[in-house]
Amino acid sequence: VDLPGFGRSRGFGALSLADMAEAVLQQAPDKAIWLGWSLGGLVASQIVLTHPERVQALVTVASSPCFSARDEWPGIKPDVLAGFQQQLSDDFQRTVERFLALQTMGTETARQDARALKKTVLALPMPEVDVLNGGLEILKTVDLRQPLQNVSMPFLRLYGYLDGLVPRKVVPMLDKLWPHSESYIFAKAAHAPFISHPVEFCHLLVALKQRV
Protein backbone atom coordinates (compact mmCIF):
# COMPACT_ATOMS: atom_id res chain seq x y z
CA VAL A 1 0.00 0.00 0.00
CA ASP A 2 1.47 3.35 -1.02
CA LEU A 3 1.32 6.00 1.70
CA PRO A 4 -1.34 8.68 1.13
CA GLY A 5 -0.08 11.19 -1.42
CA PHE A 6 2.74 8.92 -2.60
CA GLY A 7 2.96 6.58 -5.60
CA ARG A 8 -0.47 5.32 -6.60
CA SER A 9 -2.24 6.84 -3.56
CA ARG A 10 -3.16 10.15 -5.16
CA GLY A 11 -5.59 12.80 -4.03
CA PHE A 12 -4.09 13.56 -0.62
CA GLY A 13 -2.36 16.64 0.70
CA ALA A 14 -0.02 16.82 3.67
CA LEU A 15 -1.38 14.70 6.53
CA SER A 16 -0.59 14.17 10.19
CA LEU A 17 0.69 10.73 11.19
CA ALA A 18 -2.70 9.86 12.72
CA ASP A 19 -4.59 10.85 9.56
CA MET A 20 -2.10 9.00 7.37
CA ALA A 21 -2.60 5.83 9.44
CA GLU A 22 -6.38 6.09 9.19
CA ALA A 23 -6.19 6.52 5.40
CA VAL A 24 -3.97 3.43 5.05
CA LEU A 25 -6.33 1.39 7.23
CA GLN A 26 -9.11 1.95 4.69
CA GLN A 27 -7.10 -0.12 2.17
CA ALA A 28 -6.09 -2.91 4.55
CA PRO A 29 -7.54 -6.35 5.36
CA ASP A 30 -9.27 -6.85 8.69
CA LYS A 31 -6.12 -8.33 10.21
CA ALA A 32 -2.59 -8.51 8.83
CA ILE A 33 1.11 -8.47 9.51
CA TRP A 34 1.98 -4.79 9.14
CA LEU A 35 5.35 -3.92 7.61
CA GLY A 36 6.45 -0.33 7.19
CA TRP A 37 9.62 1.03 5.60
CA SER A 38 11.17 4.28 6.84
CA LEU A 39 8.30 6.78 7.30
CA GLY A 40 5.99 3.82 6.71
CA GLY A 41 7.37 2.28 9.90
CA LEU A 42 5.89 5.17 11.85
CA VAL A 43 2.56 4.69 10.06
CA ALA A 44 2.49 0.95 10.84
CA SER A 45 3.47 1.69 14.44
CA GLN A 46 0.68 4.25 14.77
CA ILE A 47 -1.82 1.66 13.54
CA VAL A 48 -0.57 -0.79 16.17
CA LEU A 49 -1.15 1.85 18.85
CA THR A 50 -4.63 2.89 17.72
CA HIS A 51 -6.01 -0.33 16.17
CA PRO A 52 -4.13 -3.29 17.70
CA GLU A 53 -7.02 -5.60 16.83
CA ARG A 54 -6.09 -5.15 13.14
CA VAL A 55 -2.48 -6.28 13.61
CA GLN A 56 -1.01 -9.80 13.86
CA ALA A 57 2.58 -8.60 14.01
CA LEU A 58 4.57 -5.43 13.39
CA VAL A 59 7.69 -5.19 11.22
CA THR A 60 9.59 -1.93 10.84
CA VAL A 61 12.30 -1.63 8.18
CA ALA A 62 15.02 1.04 8.34
CA SER A 63 12.73 3.00 10.61
CA SER A 64 12.98 4.80 13.92
CA PRO A 65 10.28 5.74 16.44
CA CYS A 66 12.02 9.13 16.55
CA PHE A 67 13.86 10.07 13.36
CA SER A 68 14.98 13.47 14.59
CA ALA A 69 18.06 13.73 16.79
CA ARG A 70 17.21 14.63 20.40
CA ASP A 71 19.16 14.85 23.64
CA GLU A 72 21.03 11.55 24.00
CA TRP A 73 19.17 10.15 21.01
CA PRO A 74 20.86 9.61 17.62
CA GLY A 75 18.97 10.65 14.54
CA ILE A 76 18.80 13.15 11.71
CA LYS A 77 19.75 16.64 12.80
CA PRO A 78 16.76 19.02 12.67
CA ASP A 79 18.66 21.47 10.46
CA VAL A 80 19.27 18.68 7.92
CA LEU A 81 15.53 17.94 7.76
CA ALA A 82 14.79 21.66 7.46
CA GLY A 83 17.36 21.86 4.66
CA PHE A 84 15.61 19.09 2.75
CA GLN A 85 12.34 21.00 3.02
CA GLN A 86 13.95 24.14 1.59
CA GLN A 87 15.69 22.19 -1.18
CA LEU A 88 12.40 20.59 -2.23
CA SER A 89 11.06 24.07 -2.91
CA ASP A 90 14.23 25.17 -4.72
CA ASP A 91 14.94 22.11 -6.91
CA PHE A 92 12.35 19.37 -6.48
CA GLN A 93 13.62 16.75 -8.96
CA ARG A 94 17.29 17.01 -8.00
CA THR A 95 16.49 16.86 -4.26
CA VAL A 96 14.39 13.71 -4.68
CA GLU A 97 17.17 12.04 -6.69
CA ARG A 98 19.78 12.98 -4.05
CA PHE A 99 17.54 11.60 -1.32
CA LEU A 100 17.16 8.30 -3.21
CA ALA A 101 20.94 8.03 -3.70
CA LEU A 102 21.46 8.61 0.03
CA GLN A 103 19.35 5.55 0.81
CA THR A 104 21.80 3.11 -0.78
CA MET A 105 25.07 4.94 -0.10
CA GLY A 106 27.90 2.79 1.24
CA THR A 107 26.66 -0.62 0.13
CA GLU A 108 28.76 -2.88 -2.11
CA THR A 109 26.12 -2.58 -4.82
CA ALA A 110 25.25 1.09 -4.17
CA ARG A 111 24.99 2.18 -7.82
CA GLN A 112 22.96 -0.86 -8.82
CA ASP A 113 20.70 -0.48 -5.78
CA ALA A 114 20.24 3.24 -6.40
CA ARG A 115 19.25 2.57 -10.02
CA ALA A 116 16.72 -0.06 -8.94
CA LEU A 117 15.23 2.22 -6.30
CA LYS A 118 15.15 5.21 -8.65
CA LYS A 119 13.55 3.16 -11.43
CA THR A 120 10.81 1.95 -9.08
CA VAL A 121 10.11 5.34 -7.52
CA LEU A 122 10.28 7.43 -10.69
CA ALA A 123 8.02 5.00 -12.58
CA LEU A 124 5.16 6.27 -10.42
CA PRO A 125 3.67 9.77 -10.23
CA MET A 126 5.82 12.07 -8.12
CA PRO A 127 4.24 13.30 -4.88
CA GLU A 128 3.44 16.97 -4.51
CA VAL A 129 5.93 19.15 -2.66
CA ASP A 130 3.48 19.75 0.20
CA VAL A 131 3.06 15.97 0.65
CA LEU A 132 6.84 15.49 0.87
CA ASN A 133 7.14 18.41 3.26
CA GLY A 134 4.35 16.91 5.36
CA GLY A 135 6.29 13.65 5.55
CA LEU A 136 9.43 15.51 6.60
CA GLU A 137 7.41 17.33 9.27
CA ILE A 138 6.35 13.94 10.70
CA LEU A 139 10.00 12.85 10.75
CA LYS A 140 10.92 16.09 12.55
CA THR A 141 8.24 15.98 15.24
CA VAL A 142 6.97 12.45 15.97
CA ASP A 143 8.37 10.43 18.88
CA LEU A 144 6.82 7.00 19.54
CA ARG A 145 9.56 5.62 21.79
CA GLN A 146 7.46 5.55 24.94
CA PRO A 147 4.06 4.56 23.46
CA LEU A 148 5.56 1.49 21.75
CA GLN A 149 6.84 0.18 25.08
CA ASN A 150 3.37 -1.25 25.66
CA VAL A 151 3.16 -3.28 22.44
CA SER A 152 2.88 -6.99 23.27
CA MET A 153 2.39 -8.55 19.82
CA PRO A 154 5.29 -9.95 17.74
CA PHE A 155 7.49 -7.01 16.78
CA LEU A 156 10.48 -7.30 14.41
CA ARG A 157 12.80 -4.38 13.67
CA LEU A 158 15.13 -4.55 10.65
CA TYR A 159 18.08 -2.22 10.07
CA GLY A 160 20.97 -1.57 7.71
CA TYR A 161 24.38 -1.23 9.33
CA LEU A 162 25.33 1.45 6.79
CA ASP A 163 22.07 3.41 7.03
CA GLY A 164 22.71 7.16 6.91
CA LEU A 165 19.16 8.06 8.00
CA VAL A 166 18.56 5.65 10.91
CA PRO A 167 21.82 5.31 12.87
CA ARG A 168 22.63 1.79 14.05
CA LYS A 169 23.23 3.24 17.52
CA VAL A 170 19.46 3.26 18.04
CA VAL A 171 19.29 -0.54 17.83
CA PRO A 172 20.71 -1.45 21.28
CA MET A 173 18.87 1.51 22.80
CA LEU A 174 15.56 0.18 21.50
CA ASP A 175 16.48 -3.40 22.43
CA LYS A 176 16.63 -2.14 26.01
CA LEU A 177 13.55 0.08 25.76
CA TRP A 178 11.45 -2.58 23.99
CA PRO A 179 12.67 -5.95 25.34
CA HIS A 180 9.61 -7.66 23.85
CA SER A 181 10.77 -6.82 20.31
CA GLU A 182 13.44 -8.45 18.12
CA SER A 183 16.04 -6.65 16.04
CA TYR A 184 18.21 -7.66 13.10
CA ILE A 185 20.93 -5.65 11.37
CA PHE A 186 21.89 -6.33 7.74
CA ALA A 187 25.67 -6.00 7.95
CA LYS A 188 26.20 -4.57 4.45
CA ALA A 189 22.89 -2.80 3.85
CA ALA A 190 21.93 0.86 4.04
CA HIS A 191 18.39 2.29 4.11
CA ALA A 192 16.85 -0.21 1.66
CA PRO A 193 17.84 -3.75 2.75
CA PHE A 194 15.00 -5.29 0.75
CA ILE A 195 16.75 -4.07 -2.42
CA SER A 196 20.36 -4.86 -1.50
CA HIS A 197 19.62 -8.14 0.34
CA PRO A 198 16.26 -9.43 -0.98
CA VAL A 199 16.77 -13.14 -0.22
CA GLU A 200 17.94 -12.58 3.35
CA PHE A 201 15.14 -10.06 3.84
CA CYS A 202 12.45 -12.47 2.65
CA HIS A 203 13.82 -15.31 4.80
CA LEU A 204 13.30 -13.17 7.90
CA LEU A 205 9.72 -12.35 6.93
CA VAL A 206 8.87 -15.98 6.15
CA ALA A 207 10.27 -17.03 9.53
CA LEU A 208 8.12 -14.41 11.27
CA LYS A 209 5.01 -15.50 9.37
CA GLN A 210 5.57 -19.10 10.44
CA ARG A 211 5.65 -18.00 14.09
CA VAL A 212 2.43 -16.00 13.99
From the list 45, 64, 181, 191, the catalytic residue is: 191
Cα gap 70→89, rounded to integer Å: 26
SS3 6: coil
Catalytic, 68? Answer no
Catalytic, 38? Answer yes
From the list 45, 63, 64, 163, the catalytic residue is: 163
Exposed, middle or buried: residue 198 (CB in 10 Å: 0-12, 13-18, 19+)? exposed
From the list 38, 45, 64, 68, the catalytic residue is: 38
Among 41, 54, 24, which residue's Cα sits nearest to residue 166? 41
- How far are the Cα atoms of 61, 124, 171 from residue 64, in angstroms, in the given order? 9, 26, 9
Catalytic, 2? Answer no
Give the residue numbers marked as catalytic.
38, 163, 191
